[in-house]
């Protein structure tokens, strides 16, 4: 027993050294891609895993290992990644609990020939080959005004309900939106108010907008707190059908607003597409069909392709639009 163990141990070690630094995949062996999430049991990530399985079915001969820790700590995620390195998976696609703490273990994974990418929540550049953002600031800025304009073919007045005046993301998206206002003639931005991402303050600000601008046509709230509060304010004011609430929100929280008609449509990333794209990219990199370098275009199956910037990061797509046709499918997911 002891002797056998020892020889196996030695054999294993030589095998490991032999494989180090190469990513050659033996033919017919399935490509094993690990989708590592922040924590198991979260609807958003379960949906991403569904997308990953879909990608695996499209690719063929691909095995998805959907895994993650029980709680959202970096230490627990490192333990998970260590066991994936031990299994010699071909690729790891991770949504990180900590952008820095995962770097050493992911570096080790890359040294042993494993393709490493991050998606959703990124890792510092030295710890991954590329990062897939769900969307990009210009795409989001364009999407929020487009959603409002699509319902207003003859033009109209819109107002913005943001979070805080110092919220970096919000301000970037609003700036990007203002840049493309010219593409939507007839749409006039009358005011920008701040609800501080508090439900009651956002509600009062939305009420104030409707009182100050009785002919207001739409409220754009690129925040998941603000959009729900604004929709409630519109319902309570009896202005459903006159004022359309749109922006960025979560399907589970917005299902009521879509049902009542206070919101015709809103947008947010689609976790299924995200899991699908991450898997497609991981497969392309692991099998050598693509290389992660600035400027590279990496194919993502039905999602088109992603172009990498100087940090080897790329944006997947426009935010996904949710309306009465698909809200029921997504409201139970996230």
Partner 1 sequence: MTTLHDTAPGRQIPDRLQSPLQRRLKSWETLLLLVAIGIFVANSFASPYFLNAWNLSDATFNFTEKAMIAFAMALLIISGEIDLSVAAIIALASTAMGAAMTAGAATPMILLVGIGTGLACGAFNGVLVTRFGLPSIVVTIGTMSLFRGISYIVLGDQAFRGYPSDFAFFGQGYVFWVISFELVLFAVLAVIYAVVLHLTNFGRAVYAIGNNATGAEFSGIRVARVKFILFLLTGLMSGIAAICLTSRLGSTRPSIAFGWELEVVTMVVLGGVNILGGSGSIPGVVIAAFVMGLVTFGLGLLNVPGIVMSIVIGALLIGVIALPRLWSKWRAA
Unique residue bearing structure tokens 């589970």: 252
What's the closest the beta carbon of residue 128 comes to partner 1, in angstroms?
A: 14
128-155 in b/e burial notation, b at 16+ Cβ within 10 A?
bbbbbbbbbebbbbbbbbbbbbeebeee
Q: How far apart are alpha carbons 57 and 64 in whole angstroms? A: 10
What's the closest the beta carbon of residue 286 comes to partner 1, in angstroms?
A: 18
What's the closest the beta carbon of residue 65 comes to partner 1, in angstroms?
A: 6
What's the closest the beta carbon of residue 287 comes to partner 1, in angstroms?
A: 21
Nearer to partner 1, 13 or 57 (CB): 13
**Contact call for residues 36 and 94 (beta carbons, < 8 A):** yes
Q: What is the largest CA-CA distance in the chain?
A: 86
Unique residue bearing structure tokens 């944006």: 315
Nearer to partner 1, 38 or 283 (CB): 38
Q: Which residues contact 17 (CB under 8 A, 6 or more apart)?
A: none
Nearer to partner 1, 17 or 165 (CB): 17
Nearer to partner 1, 88 or 304 (CB): 88
What's the closest the beta carbon of residue 44 comes to partner 1, in angstroms?
A: 17
Unique residue bearing structure tokens 């409201």: 331
**Nearest of 295, 301, 332 to residue 316 by alpha carbon:** 301
Nearer to partner 1, 25 or 101 (CB): 101
Q: How far apart are alpha carbons 193 and 261 in whole angstroms? A: 23
Nearer to partner 1, 167 or 326 (CB): 167
What's the closest the beta carbon of residue 80 comes to partner 1, in angstroms?
A: 7
Question: Residue 50: exposed, middle, or buried by beta-carbon count in 10 A (0-12, 13-18, 19+)?
Answer: middle
Tell me which residues touch partner 1 (CB under 8 A). Answer: 5, 8-10, 12-13, 15-16, 40-41, 65, 67-71, 73-76, 78-80, 82-83, 85-88, 98, 100-101, 103-104
What's the closest the beta carbon of residue 46 comes to partner 1, in angstroms?
A: 12
Q: How far apart are alpha carbons 2 and 149 in whole angstroms? A: 73
What's the closest the beta carbon of residue 281 comes to partner 1, in angstroms?
A: 22
Tokens of 299: 């194919």
Q: 224-236 vs 199-212: helix axis angle to the nearest 10? A: 50
Tokens of 221: 């709230």
Unique residue bearing structure tokens 């794209």: 277
Nearer to partner 1, 85 or 234 (CB): 85
Question: CA–CA distance from 182 to each of 149, 155, 179, 243, 249 (Å)?
Answer: 12, 12, 7, 22, 25
Nearer to partner 1, 89 or 316 (CB): 89
Nearer to partner 1, 89 or 281 (CB): 89
Q: How far apart are alpha carbons 5 and 226 in whole angstroms? A: 61
What's the closest the beta carbon of residue 232 comes to partner 1, in angstroms?
A: 30
């Amino acid at each position: 027993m002891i002797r056998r163990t020892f020889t196996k141990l030695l054999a294993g070690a030589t095998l490991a050294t032999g494989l180090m630094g190469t990513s050659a995949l033996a033919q017919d062996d399935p490509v094993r891609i690990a989708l590592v999430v922040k924590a198991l049991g979260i609807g958003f990530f379960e949906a991403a895993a569904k997308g990953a399985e879909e990608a695996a079915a499209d690719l063929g001969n691909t095995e998805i290992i959907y895994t993650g820790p029980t709680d959202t700590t970096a230490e627990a995620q490192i333990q998970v990644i260590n066991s994936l390195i031990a299994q010699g998976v071909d690729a790891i696609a991770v949504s990180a609990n900590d952008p820095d703490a995962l770097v050493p273990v992911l570096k080790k994974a890359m040294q042993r020939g494993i393709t490493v990418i991050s998606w959703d929540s990124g890792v510092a550049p030295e710890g991954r080959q590329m990062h897939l953002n769900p969307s990009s600031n210009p795409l989001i800025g364009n999407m929020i005004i487009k959603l409002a304009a699509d319902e207003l073919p003859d033009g109209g007045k819109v107002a913005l309900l943001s979070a805080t005046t110092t919220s970096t993301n919000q301000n970037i998206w609003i700036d990007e939106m203002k840049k493309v206002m010219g593409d939507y003639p007839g749409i006039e931005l009358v005011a920008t108010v701040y609800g501080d991402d508090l439900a009651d303050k956002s509600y009062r600000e939305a009420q104030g907008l409707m009182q100050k601008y009785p002919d207001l046509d739409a409220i754009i709230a690129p925040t998941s707190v603000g959009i729900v509060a604004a929709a409630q304010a519109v319902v309570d004011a009896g202005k459903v059908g006159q004022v359309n609430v749109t922006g960025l929100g979560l399907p589970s929280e917005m299902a009521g607003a879509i049902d009542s008609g206070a919101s015709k449509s809103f947008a947010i990333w689609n976790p299924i597409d995200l899991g699908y794209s991450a898997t497609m990219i991981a497969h392309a990199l692991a099998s050598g069909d693509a290389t992660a370098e600035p400027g590279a275009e990496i194919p993502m199956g039905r999602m088109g392709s992603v172009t990498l910037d100087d940090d080897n990061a790329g944006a997947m797509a426009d935010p996904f639009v949710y309306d009465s046709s698909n809200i029921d499918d997504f409201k139970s997911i996230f």
